[in-house]
């Protein structure tokens, strides 16, 4: 299994602290040695970093840990390969342009027998995850020629996710830079930090931060992760089948998959 | 105007030396302060770095300069904005998936009045360059449902380029990871390095390398750039309208635009 991490914030915020904890699981405190990647949105732009190297020893991961790239929507993934060999093309997050926006996608789970519908979006690599992403985009574009309203879009996404979840484990993070869609079919947790901000201590490495020193009173920052990243805060656990759309650090829409 | 740089090699090769010269033009020896980006192919995978900051002072550019990322096909661009504001979404190279391959695209030129044909590929930013790229991909996918043979593909690409060149300056680098298409409508140069390898001295900064120390006798590495990057080697200049498809450091196909 892989590890997911996402962030939704109402002001551009860096992920250096959370990433420092997560990257330990990429070969040191966790077995996820088969590459890692992160996608940062800045306005409509998307900045991705991918590395098929273990992230605890990656020069690019060290840059991300030390260089504060600020974003309102972030998706991060560290990989323990099951379907698809270790290679750059198989490294999440995957991204594609749809309706003039960059979509990005990271998956934790396994769906060995997944057979995607044919369509213009085609996988480059050989993971089940990228096949699911392309299948989802093909469904969306077949259904909507231009971008629909959010509720209509989420109806279509969650209907597809219901089918995917019937076929295997499918914890997902998806963003188009405006919102962050999150789905838990087995394991996902979240925490929202807002004023009064306090100190946080990572679980995976001796590192603490006092968010008071890095925030303003209006900041709202939600971090979503496969497993809680800090040891002194209370994370909320997603229920099985629960999905949430985050925007500006707040839940905009939420629900449970049918079935 | 912007600066382009491309590389085609028959073995995975890093671009640290050439990039060290090019990045000086991003705000120090040249006026190209409005961001930069680079795309490296590794197998089918694509690794992009983008920064709307000037590259001579960018932490990410320093990583690229010092960390040898090896690739057989590279596209690099430093930007002096004309159409479209300075932002991540307007930073080349642009990339899209077509026929299960990542395509990447960088442009040097200006085409203020360009009006692309509508189609499923849509620009995210506001540059004429990304509009040209989307227009080209829309033409290709409208014409070929699956990937055609190379000669047929190049007929379609060069026919589109003939139209683009009628509308403005259009020096281009395009790759799908298998080959590197290059087009000169005003300014482009290339050099092929092969055994016996010798020393090279950058024009823009006091830096020399002896390629003998970094190569094997069978290596063939071609670098394409808007202007020669070294002061002690003979670069070949493209003619106006000349295009070349590079693969493994060698010219695979070449021609001149009609008209």
Predicted confidence band of residue A139 (pLDDT cuts 50, 70, 90): very high
pLDDT (tens digit, 9 = 90+) per residue, B66-116? 888 999 999 999 988 777 788 999 999 999 999 999 999 999 998 878 888
> What pLDDT sits at residue A125?
96
Distance CA A213, CA A29 (A): 28
Q: Can you identify the CATH homologous superfamily of domain B3-256?
A: Aminohydrolase, N-terminal nucleophile (Ntn) domain (3.60.20.10)
Nearest to A122 among B50, B52, B99 (CB): B99
Q: How far is B99 from chain A (nearest CA, A)?
A: 6
Tell me if B124 and A67 make a contact (CB, 8 A cut-off). Answer: no
- CB proximity A97 to B under 8 Å: yes
For residue A33, the model assigns a pLDDT of: 75
Domain ranges of chain B: 3-256
Closest CA to A20 of A43, A42, A38: A38
Mutate to test the interface with B, among A42, A89, A94, A147 (most CBs of B within 10 A): A89
User: Quick count: other Cβ atoms within 10 Å of Cβ B192?
Assistant: 17
Tell me the chain A residues in contact with residue B121 when contact means C-beta distances shorter than 8 Å. 97
Cβ within 8 Å of B, A 124-163: 124-125, 141
Which residue, among A237, A173, A233, has the nearest Cα to A203 in the 3D structure? A233
Provide the b/e sequence for A194-227 (b: ≥16 CB within 10 Å): beebeebebebeeeebebeeebeeebbbbbbbbb
Interface test with A, best of B88, B140, B144 (most A CBs within 10 A): B88
- Whether chain A has a CB inside 8 Å of the CB on B217: the answer is no
Sign of CA dihedral B96, A9, B87, B50: negative
Q: Which two tokens stand for residue A256?
A: 């449970």
Confidence at residue A25, expressed as pLDDT on a 0 to 100 scale: 79
Which DSSP category does A117 fall into?
A: P
pLDDT > 70: percent of chain A: 97
Q: Establish whether B48 is a catalytic residue.
A: no
Structure ipTM over 0.90, yes or no: yes
Q: Say what the pLDDT of residue A1 is.
A: 66
């Amino acid at each position: 299994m892989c590890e997911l991490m996402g962030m939704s914030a109402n002001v551009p915020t860096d992920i250096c602290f959370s990433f420092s904890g997560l990257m330990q699981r990429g070969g040191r405190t966790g077995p996820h040695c088969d590459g890692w990647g992160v996608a940062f949105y800045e306005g409509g732009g998307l900045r991705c970093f991918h590395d098929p190297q273990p992230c605890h020893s990656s020069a690019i991961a060290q840059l991300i840990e030390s260089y504060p790239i600020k974003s309102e929507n972030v998706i991060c993934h560290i990989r323990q390969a099951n379907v698809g060999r270790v290679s750059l093309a198989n490294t999440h997050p995957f991204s594609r342009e749809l309706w003039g926006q960059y979509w990005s996608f990271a998956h934790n789970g396994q769906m060995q027998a997944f057979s995607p519908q044919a369509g213009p979006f085609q996988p480059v690599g050989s993971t089940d995850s990228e096949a699911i992403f392309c299948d989802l985009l093909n469904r969306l574009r077949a259904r909507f020629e231009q971008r629909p309203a959010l509720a209509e879009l989420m109806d279509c996404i969650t209907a597809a996710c219901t089918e995917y979840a019937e076929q295997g484990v499918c914890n997902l993070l998806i963003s188009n830079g405006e919102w962050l869609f999150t789905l838990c079919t087995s394991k996902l947790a979240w925490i929202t930090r807002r004023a009064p901000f306090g100190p946080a201590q990572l679980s995976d490495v001796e590192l603490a931060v006092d968010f008071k020193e890095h925030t303003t009173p209006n900041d709202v920052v939600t971090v979503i992760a496969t497993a809680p990243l800090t040891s002194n805060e209370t994370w909320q656990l997603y229920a099985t089948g629960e999905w949430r759309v985050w925007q500006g650090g707040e839940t905009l829409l939420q629900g449970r998959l049918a079935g």
